Each structure stands twice: as C-alpha cells, then as structure tokens.
Amino acid sequence: MKLTDFSALAFDVYGTLIDWESGMIAGLKPLTDQVGGLTRDAILEAHAYHESTTQRQTPTKTYSQLLAVVYKRIAEEWDVAVGWDECLAYGRSVENWPAFDDSAEALSYLKNHYKLVVLSNVDNASFAHSDEKLGRPFHIVYTAEDVGSYKPSPRNFEYMLGNLKRLGIEKHEILHTAESMFHDHAPANAFGLANCWIYRRHDKQGFGATMRPEEIPRYDMVFDSMAELVAAHRSEGQG
C-alpha cells in the first residue's frame, strides 16, 4: 500500500493537526492552579473521560457547549468552585488552540495532490478558527455539529462516506488520517477504511486526551508527524 494509491485524505483535526492537548492544558489552568500534584497526563485523562462521556450522553450538543460542561464536571471532580461564565469561556477556548508546527505547510503541499476532507468532533464556529490557523486548505468539511453525533459513533463515518460517494469519491480511494485510536482508527477499521496513524504522542506514554480503545486498532501506515507523511509522499516520486 502506498500513499499514491489514494485520491482523498480524511483528517481528524484535533490531536492530529491542532495541538489540542496543549490547548486544553492552557485552558484548564484556572482549575489546575487550585489543585496540587496533578501531572499533565492526569489532567488530560480526566478531560478524556468527561469529554467522551458527555459526547455519548448529549450527542447533539455543540462542541463549545459540550466543553463548558466538561469544564464543570472536571471542576466538581477536583472540588474547585466555578461559575458558568468560566465554563463557557473554556468552551470558547478552541479558538486559541495552536496548530502543530508542521501542519499548515504539510496541508498546503497535500491539497495539490488530494481532496482534503475533515471529519471532526467540533462545531462549525470553533472549526473556523482552526481552519484559519491551518491556511484554509480543506475541500470538504464534516463536523459533529453537521452530523448530530460525535466520533467514534458510526453515524459520523456513514455521513462522511455517503456524502463523499455523492461527490464521486469511493471508499477505496480514501485514506483516513488521524491520531486518535479511540475516535478514528477503531471506527475506520469497522468500516473497512484504509488508515494512517499520525502518532503525535510517539514520545509519550498512554493516550492523553483520548480514551483507550477496548482493542488497539490496526493501521496501514504510521508517521510521527505530518512532515514525515509529506516526505513519504515525495519519496514515492510525487511533488
């Protein structure tokens, strides 16, 4: 299997192209400043639990509103008093989450060789800020707000595949490209999608801001960064 076997790259954004873990750590600082002894991974794991639970319980809630609830749940877990305005401020913090250093340049290159598709657990207003940071490279964008559910729900993948088929893009032409084993690679396996793991946490333990899947999914390709993916594409005689 080669990168040049595909005509479309379907991207997860947060954790793959946007450094959401750094964004979360910064946004949760008003809480963590009041709680001692928390490691970075402990903070991210608490976020992963409450985020995935809230997504499952209220799948139609927009991501900014959902993050506000996550902030409230984490504050309660850590016994920190917060007001709803503070929770809402965290919900809006996606606009401040930084892109990984290599993302915009890599996407600028790849958009000349592929249809670039977004399948992301985000709302459209929040995504607009991230899209700007990434250079607005995407041809097609599917958000959780569009679908009314959050990955790893099969509904999100059904929505993407159905709409791409209408555009003439068949499943075998798509390489699902993501960091999260839980949100992306497990359902990609279930749908028979070829998949590429962007292993941003290759130098860290655990799963960070995502839940651990029941079984570790298989993957067809793995790169530690988007820059490595681009280098591999060029090595196939492209670019």
* Active site positions, annotated: 12
8 Å CB contact between 57 and 153: no
Cα 129 to its chain centre, rounded Å, is: 14
User: SS3 of 180, please?
Assistant: coil
Residue 93 CA to residue 84 CA, distance in Å, equals 14
Query: Which residues sit opposite 198 in a β-bridge?
Result: 223
For strands 115-120 and 194-198, give the pairing. unpaired
**The one-letter amino acid at 21:** E
- Find tokens 């992301």 and name the residue: 120
Q: Which residues contact 24 (CB under 8 A, 6 or more apart)?
A: 43, 44, 47, 97, 209
Nearest Cα residue to 9 out of 223, 235, 153: 223
Q: Are 69 and 46 in contact (CB under 8 A)?
A: no
Where helices occur in the chain by DSSP H, the ranges are 20-27, 29-32, 40-57, 63-77, 84-91, 103-110, 124-133, 144-147, 154-166, 186-190, 226-235
Instruction: Name residue 36's amino acid.
Output: G
